[in-house]
Chain A
């Protein structure tokens, strides 16, 4: 397959930290519909790999391309709307869940986009929560699990092309986790989508992903 048909193309990236390489020579690609599980013992830098893929940390070597173009060619803010990283420690801002969801649309890159409450309500309903109640909760007072849900909804509504999910269901119960996975399947079934997941739950990795990358092999 030519690299232009790939969604994400990663070649020979490496991460250097306090005098040693955490991992080096990491290469992989994501084709449309791919769901890649990132596995490795903790402390091997899974989160750092995700941060590197969206260039929140500078790339020390190697390159990353989305649909054949480098992040600089996309311009970074645009690139990050396409390849979206949802960190493990999700953050909320002051105001209600609704305010949190709406606030993103104030960013310049989303000038052409609209906040769609109907779509969000349907999703919240799928996650087993009452939409009216959930949207009115105060952001900073959410539980760990609710914060993760908010972060996921906030990202999904922006319709990214590639999602980098760092332990997205770590604080959720089994039912809500199933709801999240269903939501992600629906999102992934649209054309040219791909996803990378880390999870401490190896059952989840084998349940949802279609292939795995062991970062421990690149140490």
Chain B
């Protein structure tokens, strides 16, 4: 394949592994006890990435929409499940809530980007669809974890306030909208922070990658902007969905705060 960038051979990869040896050396010299976990995590990172490289190489040769959709669905499900796994509390149906929110938000945003903005032909071309979806999912997942966790913790720690309001005749929304708002705000913080310093403090990985691969920096920047908007919209929709579904579950139609439905996860 004709490339306009310098490919890295396995020999060169091995050379880069020398860099981690600096860490290992420091850890041994200072008796930090990190040598072992550094080595295993480096190895995991390498094996996982090489494997996904081969998967992507295979995937990019596919032109069956169903295969690509199935892979997208798999990625989305993993994101939906992982988002819940980082919360401290659970309720029955929380995984479905998360899956539904991730699926709806990422499908909407990625679909709009692929069909409406980038205008990929055909729309399921995996070279575009998969990386764009992946970036949206990775960020939505963080937002959902943060927002969901904050919402449940907020209800739990402010239980007395919420119930005082309910006892005085507040509707469930009047009693808990502060906690909903707070969860949305906290979930959006990472996205807003990263947008506001982007280019000044951080050069985004995707853009750096495109530039290394020989893309015109301005083109790379445009892609990055599109992706940031996708991430912001996807994250917001995902958090909104998951927090509202949790609200419906934990504040009953009889205007009760149902903390008895929450179980904490021992860790």
Give per-residue flags for B173-187: 1 if the beta carbon is below 8 A from chain A beta carbons, else 0.
Answer: 010000000000000
Docked-complex contact B256 and A58, CB < 8 angstroms: yes
Residue of chain B at shortest CB distance from A77: B169
Query: Does any Cβ of A come within 8 Å of B121's Cβ?
Result: no
Once the chains bind, are B168 and A84 in contact (CB under 8 Å)?
yes
When A56-B256, A77-B255, A108-B174 are in contact, do A91 and B169 touch as well, CB less than 8 Å? no
| B30 CB, min distance to chain A CBs, angstroms | 47
Tell me, in angstroms, the Cα distance from A155 to B169 when the chains sit together.
Answer: 11
Chain A residues 71-89 with CB under 8 Å of chain B are 71-72, 76-78, 80-81, 84-87, 89
Taking a contact as CB atoms closer than 8 A, the residue among B161, B163, B174, B254 that contacts A107 in the complex is: B174
CB pair A80 B169 closer than 8 Å: yes
Q: B167–A85 contact, CB under 8 A? A: yes
Bound complex: CA of A58 vs CA of B257, how far in Å? 10
Chain A CB within 8 A of B170 CB:
yes
Q: B166 on the interface (CB 8 Å rule)? A: yes
B248 smallest CB distance to A (angstroms): 16
Docked pose: A56 CA to B174 CA in angstroms: 15
Pairwise interchain contact B160-A91, C-beta atoms closer than 8 A: yes
Number of interface residues, chain B, beta carbon within 8 A: 18
The distance in angstroms between the C-alpha atoms of A58 and B256, with both chains bound, is: 8
Contact flags (1/0) for A98-114 with B, using CB distance below 8 Å? 00000010011110000
Which of chain A's residues have a CB closer than 8 A to the CB of B166?
Answer: 56, 80
Chain A residues, Cβ within 8 Å of B167: 54, 56, 80, 84-87
Residues in A neighbouring B164, C-beta threshold 8 A? 87, 90-91, 151
Closest chain A residue, CB of each to CB of B160: A91
A154 located at the interface, meaning its Cβ lies under 8 Å from any Cβ of chain B in the complex: yes
Confirm or deny: B165 has a beta carbon within 8 angstroms of a beta carbon on chain A.
Answer: yes
A54–B163 Cα distance when bound, in Å, is 11
Contact A87 B163 (CB under 8 A): yes
* Assembly CA distance A151 to B161 (angstroms): 12
Distance in Å: Cβ of B157 to nearest Cβ of chain A: 12
In the complex, B62 has a CB within 8 A of chain A:
no
- The total of Cβ contacts below 8 Å across the A-B interface reads 61
CA distance A77 to B255 in the complex (A): 8
Q: B127 interface residue, CB < 8 Å from A?
A: no
B256 touches A77 (CB 8 A): no
- Give B178's nearest chain A residue, CB to CB: A93
List residues 121-157 of chain A with CB under 8 A from any CB of chain B. 151, 154-155
Is B171 close to A, CB under 8 A? yes
In the assembled complex, B252 has its CB within 8 A of some CB on chain A: yes
A57 within 8 A of B: yes
- Bound together, the chains give a CA A86 to CA B161 distance in angstroms of 12
> Are A56 and B169 within 8 A (Cβ)?
no
- Residues of A contacting B252 with CB < 8 Å? 58
The CA-CA distance from A168 to B87 in the complex, in Å, is 37
A104 and B168 contacting across the interface, CB-CB below 8 Å: yes
The answer to whether B255 touches A76 (Cβ under 8 A) is yes
Q: Say whether, besides A57-B256, A58-B252, A107-B174, A87 and B169 are in contact (CB < 8 Å).
A: no
Across the interface, name the chain A residue whose C-beta is closest to B173.
A108
CB distance from B98 to the nearest CB of A (A): 26
The answer to whether A87 touches B171, judged by C-beta atoms less than 8 angstroms apart, is no
Q: Which residue of B lies closest to A158 (CB)?
A: B168
The smallest C-beta distance from B243 to any residue of chain A, in angstroms, reads 22
Contact assessment for B168 and A91 in the assembled complex, using a CB-CB cutoff below 8 Å:
no
Asked whether A55 is an interface residue with its Cβ less than 8 Å from the other chain, the reply is yes
- Write the chain B residue with the least CB distance to A106: B174
A57 contacts across to B, CB distance below 8 A: 256, 260
**Given A89-B160, A108-B174: A56 and B168 interface contact (C-beta under 8 Å):** no
| Residues 246-265 of B at the A interface (beta carbon under 8 Å) | 252, 254-257, 260
- Asked if residues A55 and B256 are in contact (CB atoms below 8 Å), the reply is yes
User: Within the assembled complex, what's the spacing in Å between the Cα atoms of A151 and B167?
Assistant: 11
Contact B168 A80 (CB under 8 A): yes
CB contacts (< 8 Å) of A93 on chain B: these are 161
| Contacts of B128-167 to chain A: CB distance below 8 A | 160-161, 163-167
Can you sample 9 A-B contacts with CB below 8 Å?
A54-B167, A56-B167, A80-B169, A87-B163, A87-B164, A89-B160, A90-B164, A155-B168, A158-B168
- Closest A-B pairs by Cβ, 4 of them: A81-B169, A109-B169, A91-B164, A91-B160
